[in-house]
A = this chain, B = another copy of it.
Amino acid sequence: MPEIARRPENRYGNRPTMKDVAARAGVGLKTVSRVVNGEPGVTADTERRVQEAIEALGFRRNDSARVLRKGRTASIGLVLEDLADPFYGPLSRAVEEVARAHGALLFNGSSAEDPDREQELALALCARRVDGLVIIPAGGDHRYLEPEIRAGVATVFVDRPAGGIDADVVLSDNHGGARAGVAHLVAHGHRRIGFIGDMPRIHTAAERLRGYRTAMEDAGIPVEPSWTSLGATVPERVRRAAEEMLSGPAPVTAIFAGNNRVTVTVVRVLAELGRPVALVGFDDFELADLLRPGITVVAQDSGRLGRTAADRLFRRLDGALVAPERVELPTRLITRGSGELPPAG
């Protein structure tokens, strides 16, 4: 009966370990570890022998084992809504850069705006023992993270606040931004101003709606129910909402769009309409300046959101034991033409 190979054939495809390197170099295990980690206490000659063995075998340290031993994984997790959404690209990249500066790798996952999936992802990342989490909440209840945070997972929420727990949050000034955007329309003579936004269970959507209402109240304009559309932002629905507001005996003369997907659809509707209607959108987007007219927007800096959040996270990992904080970043109104159109009719 032939001897069965002891090493299971396909663990890491039978990778060499420090033990193998040590055997080949004729030194002890720990000496290899020292060389690999650049620790002092190894003579030049020994080091050379070890290096040669490493080269020859194609050894690469198994960071999984290292992690197990050291207790830190040097990795963080980012849970966002959709990697494919241009808004999250710069945010994601910014988080990555900060992580890189701290020698950490980044796990990335999309919740697809589904609270269950967000939880599943976040907990899977915790099981991997990421050192920290940056979460763009999809759900409104994050108590499931309580044991994790207590156990030391640094956690920062971005773009939307956490629900039910006390944690760091980095937000844009959605209320103030929307208020300023709508006030801008008012300043240009509009009174019948429509608002098309996302489901109000999403915090940013609710805040922007609130900003709209505040601005209208500031201007002493009572808001007609038909001027407001909340709900899914699939193009067909936005299109229908816009068309309804723009028809009838007293149509709106300006629209405030609650996010970039809405803005784009509204631009399409207006292009077909022929009649000039003022438009201000929340979120900047590429090429907004190239359209005719250029689209006036309330811009938030998604890269800065990510950088701020990641900075906070690593400060916490570096031992800062400050109380959880809520940071609100300012928005910026960029005028390009569409928001400065006078009311028609």
Contacts and interface: CB of A to CB of B under 8 A. Distances in A.
Interface in A2-31: 8, 10-15
A271 to B, nearest CB: 7
A107 B110 contact: no
How large, as a class, is the contact surface on chain A?
35 or more
A327 to B, nearest CB: 22
A141 interface: no
A239 interface: no
A292 B291 CA distance: 8
A132 to B, nearest CB: 12
So how many copies of this chain end up in the complex? 2
Interface in A160-192: none
Contacts of A108: 92, 96, 106-108
B86 A151 contact: no
Contacts of A147: 58, 60
Interface stretch (A120-128, A198-206, A331-339): A120-128
A133 to B, nearest CB: 13
Interface in A98-127: 100, 105-110, 123-127
Contacts of A75: 107, 128
A148 B13 CA distance: 9
Contacts of A61: 127
Given A127-B61, A286-B285, A105 B105 contact: no
A38 to B, nearest CB: 15
A61 B106 CA distance: 20
A82 interface: yes
Interface string A64-106: 1101100101010000001111101110110010001000011
A107 B92 CA distance: 12
A110 B127 contact: no
A92 B92 CA distance: 12
B286 A264 contact: yes
A79 to B, nearest CB: 11
Contacts of A82: 93
A287 interface: yes
A62 interface: yes
A105 B90 CA distance: 21
Interface of A: 8, 10-15, 58, 60-65, 67-68, 71, 73, 75, 82-86, 88-90, 92-93, 96, 100, 105-110, 123-129, 146-148, 150-153, 264, 267-268, 271, 285-287, 290-292, 303
17 contacts: A10-B152, A13-B150, A13-B153, A15-B152, A58-B151, A60-B147, A60-B148, A62-B127, A62-B129, A93-B110, A96-B110, A100-B109, A106-B109, A264-B286, A264-B287, A271-B290, A291-B291
Given A63-B129, A64-B129, A93-B110, 16 more contacts: A58-B147, A60-B147, A63-B128, A68-B68, A84-B89, A84-B90, A86-B89, A96-B109, A96-B110, A100-B109, A105-B125, A105-B128, A106-B107, A264-B286, A285-B286, A290-B291
